[in-house]
Amino acid sequence: MPELFTKTMARNIYLGGSVFFILVFLALTFDTTARLPKRDHRENITEQVALGKKVWEENNCIGCHTLLGEGAYFAPELGNVYQRFGQSKDAIKAFIQSRPVEGIPGRRSMPQFNLSEEELDAVAEFLKWTSEIDTNNWPPNING
Amino acid sequence: MTTSLLKYPSQAVAKPYFIAAIGLFVGQILFGLIMGLQYVIGDFLFPEIPFNVARMVHTNLLIVWLLFGFMGAAYYLVPEEAERELHSPKLALALFWIFLVAGALTIVGYLSVPYATLAKLTGNDILPTMGREFLEQPTITKVGIVIVALGFLYNIGLTILSGRKTVINVVMLTGLVGLAVMFLFSFYNPENLVLDKYFWWWVVHLWVEGVWELILGSILAYVLIKTTGVDREVIDKWLYVIIAAALITGIIGTGHHYYFIGTPEYWQWLGSIFSSLEPIPFFMMTIFAFNMVNKRRKQHANKATVLWAMGTAVMAFLGAGVWGFLHTLAPVNYYTHGTQITAAHGHMAFYGAYAMIVLTIISYAMPKLRGIGTAMNNRAQVVEMWSFWLMTVSMVFITLFLTAAGILQVWLQRYQPNPLPFMAAQDQVALFYWMREVAGVVFTIGLILYIVSFFVKGNPQEANS
Ligand code: HEM
Ligand code: HEM
Ligand SMILES: [Fe+2]
């Protein structure tokens, strides 16, 4: 082994291999971004959906929930909550609005965020848009 | 404490970095324990510290203490490898305080005001980057991180480029530059959630399964050279092969996060194939460490360091390699995606690879930085080795309990004929969350012992070598 496989060869595999796969990854990224519009339905990203994403972020909902399977595992998946709540934005809004300030004794609790009507509408609209992304059939069932 | 034990006095700037790392580690674990309780006593500390706040503090402290550890490692090993003083120790010290104060202010912000208020106060409107997992920091904190990183890279870069360019130094620098470059993607936050997620992984995955592996590999190589006396040529060759395997598998391996977030189906093939090869570099690290220790030319006085180094090699393979492989194939991930299985893997991988490599270099460097010698006295080393076993074994148990909870969760909530809603399934597995919390307490005892080990005095009879 000592001289058959030299340090220079090892270095060249590292450099060549990395550069090659970086280029492949960039090409795949280019291809993916070209295909995405059909899957993410970006034509439906209204100003309201964009505001909803901002409300989602500025209240750190991801710190308890998963969204499309990513985030925290403390509270229900919300990528399909629009379906789970019978395709009702009002039900989503009502749920968020009705969280008790002091939580629910003994139960994992969600804060009362005191969102305005506009913010509530926006977040519900954002969750509806998210539920329509083509996720290759994930999650496996309605429970997320 | 006669003449300095450091080859280059400027290496001494590593010391505050290591102390800060350990301090923040303690904070991380305290918030882990809080969350562990909230998992079973849902309203614990509610609404004062909601779960999401504890989680941000836990994960952000983790990232920050690892960054302190990496920077400390660089300041320590780069001058020695380059055979010259650090370009500017003053800059290194200034950046230390900037980073520490910025980090502390951010954590205080998380804990003292609602997150939405923090977003408003810090002008998230101007450039919204907050509210995404691991990237919760206010935008100005992110800018601060970039400034610190630039100053750090300038300092380290100049030292390396004008000194002896060893493989360890060049790989370390490449990893650190990669770390900074990939972090820039945290500033890209499009309105389109799918694009947001796609590039979010360029920070998270390409860190831990990409450039951070270069940092891990070079610190491990450095410590092995120092503790075993094995020829540098041999070690260099191993290092190249390991990082080649890491990048060849890990870059396209990013695809294992592109199965179900809206990205095209072909990622299920690409992600499954390449990511199932990702354990290879971690396995090579294990072989590497054991091989070098077997071939050692000297018995190093610091037995604790050798234990940490071997432990890193084994635990990184278990956490990243084995527990990563467990859920990386698309048909498996379809069921495990976003469950406690993910948490199990995340814990063992982060601890086994990155927490442990930082503890390894601290163990090696601290006795010298403190002017004590090449190693702590025997009693202190015994305590340190106890802390190694307590933390490592309890992390194995945390992982096993979370894996059990995860398998049950998948069955109850996603697989069985009459699947339960999320909250009902969580109630069913509470026993495992209790056991995880108990293991977490043992981990904490290990951590306390670790800190104690720095203050254990030697036996007076013991000869000082
Ligand atoms: C006392 C021991 C610990 C306890 C009780 C604990 C508990 C937790 C909990 C409850 C979560 C949130 C899971 C969720 O989202 O639902 C979490 C997340 C996390 N913790 Fe810990 N933790 C501990 C130690 C550690 C250590 C030592 C590390 C690494 C060095 C670590 C790294 C992480 C990471 C990376 C996450 C994010 C996981 C993910 O997103 O999948 N934790 N921890
Ligand atoms: C030291 C290296 C590694 C670290 C620190 C690490 C850490 C993590 C963390 C924290 C997550 C959760 C991310 C989130 O919050 O969404 C994760 C997810 C994941 N990791 Fe790793 N990982 C490592 C290596 C690997 C390897 C080598 C593999 C494959 C063989 C792997 C496979 C996965 C998969 C498939 C997921 C997605 C889980 C899901 O669908 O929920 N990881 N990793
Ligand atoms: Fe990954």
Distance between CA atoms of residues A43 and A37, nearest Å: 8
How crowded is the C-beta side of B362, counted as CA atoms within 13 Å?
A: 27
So what's the pLDDT on residue B459?
79
Long-range contacts of A101-105 (CB under 8 A, 24+ apart): A101/B47, A102/B46, A102/B47, A103/B42, A103/B43, A103/B46, A103/B47, A104/B42, A104/B43, A105/B43
Q: What is the mean pLDDT of residues B370-393?
A: 97
Distance between CA atoms of residues B320 and B205, nearest Å: 12
So what's the pLDDT on residue B1?
43
Q: What is the mean pLDDT of residues B390-397?
A: 98
pLDDT exceeds cutoff 80 at B461:
no
Find residue A75's DSSP bridge partners: A65
DSSP string, chain A: -TTTS-HHHHHHHHHHHHHHHHHHHHHHHHHHHHHHHHHHTGGG--HHHHHHHHHHHHTTGGGTBEETTEE-SSB---TTHHHHTTT-HHHHHHHHHT--TT--TTS---------HHHHHHHHHHHHHHHTS--TT-SSSTT-
Q: What is the mean pLDDT of residues A136-143?
A: 98
B50 touches chain A (CB under 8 A): yes
Tell me which residue of B64, B44, B179 sits closest to B110, measured CA to CA.
Answer: B64
- State the residue for tokens 């100053």: B151
Tell me how far the alpha carbon of residue B346 lies from the centroid of ligand 2, in angstroms. Answer: 6
Burial of B70 (0-12, 13-18, 19+ CB in 10 A): buried
φ, ψ (nearest 5 deg) of residue B280? -55, -55
So what's the pLDDT on residue A3?
73
Q: Which tokens is B29 given?
A: 């674990």
Tell me which residue of B318, B293, B289, B324 sits closest to B219, measured CA to CA.
Answer: B289
- pLDDT, chain B, mean: 97
SS3 B411: helix
Is the distance from the beta carbon of residue A69 to the nearest atom of ligand 2 less than 6 Å? Answer: yes
The CATH number of the structural domain formed by A41-144 is: 1.10.760.10
Nearest Cβ partner for B338 among A60, A66, A109? A66
Which range has the worst mean pLDDT, A4-8, B72-76, B245-249? A4-8
- State the residue for tokens 């055979």: B83
Query: Could you say which DSSP state residue B114 is in?
Result: -
Q: Which ligand is nearest to the CA of A64?
A: 1
- pLDDT, chain A, mean: 97
Tell me how far the alpha carbon of residue B257 lies from the centroid of ligand 3, in angstroms. Answer: 6
Q: What is the mean pLDDT of residues B67-88?
A: 98
So what's the pLDDT on residue B314?
98
pLDDT exceeds cutoff 70 at B25:
yes
Which residues neighbour B213 within 8 Å (Cβ) at sequence distance 6 or greater?
A: B175, B242, B243, B246, B247, B250, B281, B353
pLDDT exceeds cutoff 50 at B219:
yes
pLDDT exceeds cutoff 50 at B355:
yes
The CB density around residue B280, as the number of other CB atoms within 10 Å, is 16
Q: Model ipTM?
A: 0.97
Which residues neighbour A30 within 8 Å (Cβ) at sequence distance 6 or greater?
A: none
Burial of B5 (0-12, 13-18, 19+ CB in 10 A): middle
Q: Which tokens is B364 given?
A: 């090696």
Distance between CA atoms of residues B153 and B181, nearest Å: 11
Distance between CA atoms of residues B429 and B406, nearest Å: 9
Cβ–Cβ under 8 Å, residues A65 and A96: no
Is the distance from the beta carbon of residue B62 to the nearest atom of ligand 1 less than 6 Å? Answer: yes
The domain limits of chain B are 7-165
Residue B3 — pLDDT band, cuts 50, 70, 90?
low
Distance between CA atoms of residues B296 and B182, nearest Å: 37
Nearest CA to ligand 2 atom 40: B337
Nearest Cβ partner for A14 among B196, B197, B243? B243
Distance between CA atoms of residues B185 and B52, nearest Å: 23
Tell me how far the alpha carbon of residue B343 lies from the centroid of ligand 1, in angstroms. Answer: 7
Q: What is the mean pLDDT of residues B398-422?
A: 98
Which residues in chain A (78-107) have CB-CB distances under 8 A to chain B? 101-107
Residue B458 — pLDDT band, cuts 50, 70, 90?
confident
Gyration radius (Cα) of chain B, Å: 22
pLDDT exceeds cutoff 70 at A2:
no
Cβ–Cβ under 8 Å, residues B142 and B127: no
B330-345 tens-digit pLDDT: 999 999 999 999 999 9
Residue B462 — pLDDT band, cuts 50, 70, 90?
low
pLDDT exceeds cutoff 80 at A1:
no
Residue A46 — pLDDT band, cuts 50, 70, 90?
very high
Nearest Cβ partner for A72 among B55, B244, B252? B55
Least Cα separation, residue B113 to chain A (angstroms):
12
Which atom of ligand 1 approaches the CA of A73 most closely?
16
pLDDT exceeds cutoff 80 at B2:
no
Which residues in chain B (129-148) have CB-CB distances under 8 A to chain A? 130-133, 136
Which residues neighbour B450 within 8 Å (Cβ) at sequence distance 6 or greater?
A: B22, B359, B384, B387, B388, B391
Distance between CA atoms of residues B126 and B118, nearest Å: 14
Distance between CA atoms of residues B312 and B229, nearest Å: 19
Cβ–Cβ under 8 Å, residues B465 and B301: yes
Question: End-to-end alpha-carbon separation of chain A, Å?
Answer: 52
So what's the pLDDT on residue B4?
77
pLDDT exceeds cutoff 50 at B108:
yes
Q: Burial letters for B132-159: b for 16+ Cβ neighbours within 10 Å, e otherwise?
A: bbbbbbbbbbbebbeebbebbbebbbeb
So what's the pLDDT on residue B177?
98
Is the distance from the beta carbon of residue B37 to the nearest atom of ligand 1 less than 6 Å? Answer: no
Residue B395 — pLDDT band, cuts 50, 70, 90?
very high
Q: What is the mean pLDDT of residues B89-98?
A: 98
How crowded is the C-beta side of B321, counted as CA atoms within 13 Å?
A: 21
DSSP string, B225-249: HHHH---HHHHHHHHHHHHHHHHHH
Torsion, CA B343, CA A142, CA A59, CA A122, rounded to 10: 150
Sign of CA dihedral B79, B82, B83, B85: negative
A92-121 tens-digit pLDDT: 999 999 999 999 999 999 999 999 999 999
Cβ–Cβ under 8 Å, residues B238 and B288: yes
Distance between CA atoms of residues B124 and A115, nearest Å: 17
Is the distance from the beta carbon of residue B343 to the nearest atom of ligand 1 less than 6 Å? Answer: yes
Burial of B105 (0-12, 13-18, 19+ CB in 10 A): middle
Q: What percent of chain B has pLDDT over 90?
A: 97
Amino acid at site B183 = F
So what's the pLDDT on residue A136?
98
So what's the pLDDT on residue B465?
45
Helices B139-161, B167-183: crossing angle, 10 deg rounding: 160
Q: What is the mean pLDDT of residues B199-206?
A: 98
Q: What is the mean pLDDT of residues B407-417?
A: 98
A70 touches chain B (CB under 8 A): yes
Q: Which ligand is nearest to the CA of B55?
A: 1
